[in-house]
Structure 1
Amino acid sequence: MATPKPEKLLCVLPLPAPPNLEQQMKEKHPEMDFEYIFHRFDTRNALACVKDIVPPEKFQSATVLVTLTMLPDPADCPNLELIHVFSAGTNHIANHPIFTNTKIPICTATGVHGPQIAEWVLMTLLAHNHLLPRMYEFQKKHLWERERTMEFHRVRDLVGQRIGVLGYGSIGRQIARVSKAMGMDVIAYTATPKKTPEARQDSGYIVPGTGDPDGSIPSAWFGGLDKDSLHNFLEQDIDVLVLSLPLTAKTRHLLGEAEFEILAKKQAFLVNISRGEIIDQPDLIRALEKGSLRGAALDVTDPEPLPKDDPLWDAPNILIAPHISGVGSAYSERAFQILDINLTRRAKGEKLINVVQRERGY
């Protein structure tokens, strides 16, 4: 009988290990040797800086790698069979030789962000609708302005407003769930048309009690990556448009002047929690200045970090955050839950979840 191949789980992450992680991994996956390497977040090219942090020999025996940005040269990881990335998107590693020149399965943390990001989306939307920045200015000046301002009488609640979710993955589904609870009508858009109930189901990781597992929340579904299909979706009297789709060659600058002119029909509010490059940023600034859009909340920009002298900072009716909408105390715990699911499935020879389709880029 052949000797089983040694298994090694190597974690290289820019966050401290959760309490008792090593013990839990040994109990659930005793066949695996476990090593955790903490490093500070580094925005340099992953291949260029990984050798500064992890000696190449550390990768030699690794069969499973958990990482965010740090990937080894393919020659340094001859035994690697699975990569688990602690992010939903993989555009930041799409040009790495591991991604382009190997067939090592790559799985993501898709599904862990939904609750946190959905709350951020609704928080920014409600803050804009209810003039929270204006109220805070009153507070800082110690002004009781109830009798002297009429602008609050123009506040419109969300009931009956239509939210278009452009990119109906795990994040989009939780945004839909909380929006529906606020009385909004939800319509969904996906790159691949979902015409049957089976196609509309969510087959990835779902935080219990969240999302839209069976795809029943939207009142209408739209799909396709051609401009005609996109414009048909945007023409559906959308009050709020949320971007929650991955960045690929086909989605870069997906929204620009023509799309903002369509949204001007209802003077829509735009929220982007996906990637900054999906929007033509100068066109967005002009749309805000013209009043084609009533406002925008951006957790992502192009580039990042946004330079101090970038005109986006001073665009009217805008809220900008430094790519933090998905950050939270439960992030790491949920990401390791996905890893645990896939390690268990891998050991049983079952199909993995959250597997990146390289040809699609996500």
Structure 2
Amino acid sequence: MAGNETPTNGTSDRQLLLAVLPWPEEDTKPLVKGLEDEFPELEVKYIYEELAKKWDKQGQLQIPEDYIKRAKILATLSWLPSSASAAPNLELIQFFSAGTNHVASHPIYTDSDIPLATQSGIHGPQIAEWVIMMDLIHSHKYIEFYEAQKRKEWDQKRGMKVKDAVGRRVGVLGYGSIGRQVARVAKAMGSDVIAYTASPRPTPESRRDNGFIVPGTGDPDGSLPSAWYSGLEKEKLHEFLRQGIDLLVVSVPLTEKTTHFLSTKEFNLLSSSSPRGCFIANISRGAIIDQAALVEALETEKIRGAALDVTDPEPLPKEDGLWDVKNCYITPHISGVSEDYAQRAFQVLRENLRRRREGRGLVNLVDRERGY
């Protein structure tokens, strides 16, 4: 494994980029070589997380202390040095996840000013496909037909009450890179899209996507929504939810303010404002939804269906009643997975390395106060 030979006491004129990532080294060799070719000033040490854990009898990830002390840049999914003082030369941490809530209580997050960047932007294509797939599975009664197929039943009546996407309203709660790609696909299907953001976006410039964008995807200039809503106050959220939403896509980050953002009152508003009933797709974090309230809303048919790629907690315990709720589709936090994930993630890393070298602002830089 590259970089895991015994460290020497010698020094290198090159800056150390320490990569602690979940892909086998063999799978990332072309991507690492691309880094080394473009940035000859960097020395890359790659550590495969799973293999490193096997080395340690306690199952903890052990990184050579010399690498931690020398590292200028850290590329990681979740591993961090114990503190900023343990990595005195660290100038940038590039997370390979869309958010940083999983490290929000770590000393490097709370007690240092080391710049943190995320992979926001690379998940849009695959998650948007998951959202639309789940919505179509429900609206076109695919599960019923699949079960009928297994029974060898030919029953056309099941398909008579299908509403296609034309003219429906899609509400995107959190109009970031994922929500923008959902909007792009939904608009192509003939749906109307409305957007919700935490802070106001009153001007065309404020509605632009300044993060990483997978080429040919998303809504770079923010022109797709027919209306924009904003504000973390409940009355602002409720104004958005009153707009007759047929498909609600939950893609806000999990923060203290968005925990249980959607509960009984919100489900009642969605129910009363959408004659056809609202379908909810949550691809963000399970705790954004009050899960007990969602179960009640589904069982009483205030909400016509839900697709959950995230739950609270995870993994969802086998005894949890959510598993058995009618019209609830659960997947194990996989909507963001794609064979192109690593390649796109390295694109973001390379973009930030270019910006760092040129003295420009980083892409996907985390605002610690906002939590994302």
Q: TM-score, normalised by structure 2?
A: 0.92
In structure 1, distance between residues paired with 2:179 and 2:316? 25
CA contact (8 A) 1:39 1:53 kept: no
Name 2:82's counterpart in structure 1: 73
Shift of 1:73: 1.3
Match of 1:125 among 116, 124, 135: 135
- Aligned pair 1:58/2:67, yes or no? yes
Moved more, 132-141 or 281-290: 132-141
Query: Which residue of structure 2 lines up, in the alignment, with residue 214 of structure 1?
Result: 221
> Match of 2:6?
none
**1:102 corresponding residue in structure 2:** 112
Deviation at 1:141, TM superposition (A): 1.4
Task: Point out the more displaced range, 272-281 or 137-146.
Answer: 137-146
Kindly state the Cα deviation for residue 109 of structure 1 after the two structures are TM-superposed: 0.3
- Asked if 1:11 corresponds to 2:14, the answer is no
Amino acid at match of 1:219: S
CA distance in 2, matches of 1:323, 1:114: 15
Q: Deviations over 1:168-218 (max 9, x none)?
A: 000000000000001000000000010110100000100011000000000
- Tell me the residue number matched to 2:351: 341
Cα distance in 1 between the residues matched to 2:31 and 2:295 = 45
Secondary structure, in 3 states, of the residue corresponding to 1:83?
Answer: strand
Deviation at 1:23, TM superposition (A): 1.9
Residue matched to 1:152: 159
Q: Which runs of 4+ in 1 moved over 6 A?
A: none
How far apart are the structure 2 equivalents of 1:263 and 1:217? 22
- Supply the distance in 1 between the matched residues of 2:17 and 2:351 (Cα, whole angstroms): 14
Mapped partners of 2:59, 2:151: distance in 1: 50
Q: Distance in 2 between matches of 1:64 and 1:50?
A: 25
Contact 1:57–1:76 under 8 Å retained in 2 = no
Distance in 2, Cα, partners of 1:258 & 1:51: 43
Say if 1:243 and 1:81 are closer, same or farther in 2 by CA, change over 3 A: same
Query: 1:260: which partner in 2?
Result: 267
* Structure 2 contact 279–303 (Cα < 8 Å) conserved: yes
Match of 1:304 in 2: 314
Preserved CA contact (<8 Å) 1:113 1:326: yes
How many residue pairs match? The answer is 352
Decide whether the 8 Å contact of 2:49 with 2:61 is kept in 1. no
Cα 1:41/1:131, change in 2 over 3 Å? farther
1:353 aligns with 2:340: no
> Could you tell me how far 1:315 is from its partner in structure 2?
1.1
The answer as to whether partners of 1:240 and 1:269 remain within 8 angstroms in 2 is yes
Shift in CA distance, 41/116, structure 1 to aligned 2, threshold 3 Å: farther
The CA deviation at 1:5 is 6.6
How far is the alpha carbon of 1:50 from its aligned partner?
9.1
CA distance in 2, matches of 1:258, 1:295: 17
Residue 30 (structure 1) aligned to one of 37, 40, 44: 40
> Which secondary structure does the structure 1 equivalent of 2:361 belong to?
coil
Aligned to 2:346, the other structure's residue is in SS state helix
Give the counterpart of 2:296 among 286, 299, 316.
286
Which secondary structure does the structure 2 equivalent of 1:242 belong to?
Answer: strand
Cα offset, 1:6, TM superposition: 4.0
Alignment match, 2:3: none
Supply the distance in 2 between the matched residues of 1:256 and 1:185 (Cα, whole angstroms).
25
Deviation, structure 1 residue 40: 2.4
Instruction: Give % identity.
Output: 55
**Is 1:325 aligned to 2:352, yes or no?**
no
Instruction: Kindly indicate whether residue 252 of structure 2 is the aligned counterpart of residue 245 of structure 1.
Output: yes
- Aligned partners of 1:40, 1:188: CA distance in 2, in Å? 39
Secondary structure at the aligned position of 2:254 is classed as coil
Q: TM-score, normalised by structure 1?
A: 0.94
Structure 1 residue 52: deviation in Å?
Answer: 3.4
Say whether the 8 Å CA contact 1:56–1:72 is kept in structure 2: no
Q: Post-superposition shift, 1:281? A: 0.3
8 Å CA contact 2:52, 2:61 repeated in 1: no
Alpha-carbon shift at residue 42 of structure 1 (Å): 11
CA distance in 2, matches of 1:297, 1:105: 35
Distance in 2 (CA, whole Å) between partners of 1:38 and 1:156 is 47
Structure 1 letter corresponding to 2:88: P
Q: What code does the residue aligned with 1:137 have? A: E
1:316 Cα deviation after fit: 1.2
Match of residue 46 from structure 1: none
- Residue in 1 aligned with 2:235? 228
Distance 1:50 1:31 in 2: 34
* Amino acid aligned to 2:193: V
